[in-house]
Each structure stands twice: as structure tokens, then as C-alpha cells.
Amino acid sequence: MPRPRKNAENFDFVDFFKAVTFDRTKPLGPQVYSEVRLQIVLSNIPPETQVNEPVLSHALNVSRTPMRYAYQKLISEQLIVSRPRSGSMVAGHSEKLIRDGIIIRRALEREIVRILCISQVDLTPLDPILKEQRDAVQEQDHVAYFKADERFHKMLAKLADLSVAWKLALAAKGHTDRARLSLMSKDSSRLNRAFTEHIELIVALETGNNTQAETLISRHVDAILQYFPE
């Protein structure tokens, strides 16, 4: 396969993904999707970077089938868009999609904490994730914190038996996640506030205080809105 040329923004996908490996004993499509999505959300692949399936397939050393799976999911999430005469590119920032993601996530997370307050399920599976978050706060590593944060909220959904709903929300919050990460990188105090909110949420869940838990999770999810004008 010929080495792909750099795109219009001179983004070298081959060099960028050279250290990436996949577990070849498991389906590649979901792994490719997760890797490319993460790099878009982290803004490591910047908005308006031109992309196409053959280039990404070559750079990630995977066949067209798993790449097509990943590509179509990213298009459906509007993280990759097609422009007339410009081809496909990483989507630019969209305040509407950011707000849509917040609304969907808030509704789901309020239901999650309601269920957890009623069921009083064991929350100890969250302990190692909280430790990772504490370490990330101390090191002011917003990327590590974000990754642990995703695992934290995914685990809450699992404990509430709403894992399928979390997957649906994941597909709607890509733009929101990218905005969150961008703001975390600019506001160092946000990591500590977010972690403190997690600790307060755990206390509310353990005591079955649903009113407090819903208030806390709403404030937590809505925090990004303070950066947008009314």
C-alpha cells in the first residue's frame, strides 16, 4: 500500500499513530473507533483536519472493514463531517452539539443517581478510579483525569444497570467531551472542583440522599455551561 500524502493541514497520520497497537484477538472495529474518537476529543487531531478512510486505515495498519465501522460511527456522531468540494474532515466546534450532549448526559445521570440511591448498591468498584483521579489532580494531568472520569461515570451507569443507555449517551457527547477537555486544559482549578464534586456525590449516594445527588450531578454536568454566553 502506498504511503499516503499529508493532508491539507500537513497532519501526518502515519507518524501520529505509529505507536498505536490493537488487540488482534478482539474485534478491531470498536478499538479503532475508540482510538480515533479519543484523539479527536483530545484535539490531538485538530478540527478541520482532512481525513479519509484509506489514509486512516494505512496509518493504523488495519483493513478497510474495521476502519469503515469506525468511520461511520464517527460520522454518525458528527465528529467527522463531509463538506462539498473539501471532502471529509474533523468537525469544528459546535455550541449546539455541545449543549445537546449536556442535556442528554444530564438526563441520564440524574436517572443513574436516582437508581443508585434507591438500590444502595455497593460503590467500592469506584474506589480505584477515584484514586486515579486523585493522582491526576495532584499531577494536574487533565488528560489522565478525563480518561478516569469517563471510567467513573461509565461505572456508575453499570452499577445502575444502565450500560446500554451510557453507550447511547456516549454517541451524543463527543463535542461536549472535546469542549470539556479544552476548558480543563485552560482552567487548572477545574480538576480539583470536579474531583471534589465526585466525593460529594459518593457521600450523597451512600446516604441515599437522592435530592442532593441529583442536584450535585446536575451541577457537575452543567459546569461547562458557565463558559458559554446566555
Give 137-190 pLDDT, tens digit per residue.
999 999 999 999 999 999 999 999 999 999 999 999 999 999 999 888 888 788
Decide yes or no: CATH 3.40.190.10 for domain 13-90.
no
Lowest mean pLDDT among 106-120, 128-142, 183-197: 183-197
CATH class of 95-227: mainly alpha
The secondary structure element, H or E, covering residue 15 is: helix 13-16
Q: Which distant-in-sequence residues (6+ apart) come within 8 Å of 1 by Cβ?
A: 58
Domain residue spans in the chain?
A: 13-90, 95-227
pLDDT-based confidence at 204, cuts 50/70/90?
very high
Cα–Cα distance measured from residue 127 to residue 118, given in angstroms and rounded to the nearest whole number: 20
Give the amino acid at 99: R
Q: What are the grid coordinates assigned to 173, written together? A: 457527547
Which of 167, 177, 157, 144 lies closest to 112 in space, CA to CA?
A: 157
Rounded to 5 degrees, φ, ψ at 88 are: -90, 145
- 3-state SS string for 76-129: HCCCEEEECCCEEEECCCCHHHHHHHHHHHHHHHHHHHHHHHHHCCCCHHHHHH
42 pLDDT higher than 90: yes
Residue in 142, 131, 139 with CA at minimum distance from that of residue 191: 142
Strand, coil or helix: 72: helix
Mean pLDDT rounded to a whole number for the chain: 91
Over residues 13-34, the pLDDT tens digits come to 999 999 999 999 999 999 999 9
Please determine, for residue 230, whether its predicted confidence score (pLDDT) is greater than 60: no
Q: What percent of the chain has pLDDT over 70?
A: 94
Predicted confidence band of residue 6 (pLDDT cuts 50, 70, 90): very low
- 32: exposed, middle or buried (Cβ count in 10 Å: 0-12, 13-18, 19+): buried
Q: State the number of CA atoms in the 13 A half-sphere of 37 facing the CB.
A: 26
Nearest-10 crossing angle of helices 95-119, 189-206: 30
Rounded CA separation 174/190 (Å): 19
